[in-house]
Amino acid sequence: MMKKDDFMREAIAISIDNVKNGGGPFGAVIVKDNEIIARGANRVTASNDPTAHAEVSAIREAAKKLGTFNLSGCEIYTSCEPCPMCLGAIYWSRLDKIYYANNKVDAKNIGFDDSFIYDELELKPSERHLPSESLLRTEAIKAFEMWDKKADKIEY
């Protein structure tokens, strides 16, 4: 039977292999019932997709394999503490637990500094570096009102 360290070593191996093959230094695996059901490597530059982080890639594969967006009952092992986007994806997919090896300071030390995003989240939208402006809320709220009243919606 595999142990936590075995799963983490697999995530680390994916990250090392990915660097050797031109990708970023990040890897992840998702485990259910003591079995790896999905693997992910950082493919941002290889796919020109800024969301193709290892954790997101693994979540996509696990959801497809299990046929559900709800990954409760699963855990993720990732070679580095998740960035804000990946952390959000992990929460939205309802994974039970996160295990990580390198931390966000280790990532910052090699040029992957996400602290500015955490700092931005604390600011009012009008004070953020990326300008944002609300438009047509009274028109857009109709979809929310419809959703709220929808009897047969699938909650997520």
Per DSSP bridges, beta strands 74-80 and 35-41 are: unpaired
Give the residue numbers marked as catalytic.
Answer: 55
Bridge partners (DSSP) of residue 129 are none
Instruction: Compute the distance between CA of residue 130 and CA of residue 98 in angstroms, rounded to an integer.
Output: 29
d(CA 56, CA 88): 10
Measured between alpha carbons, how far is 71 from 91 in angstroms, rounded to an integer?
10
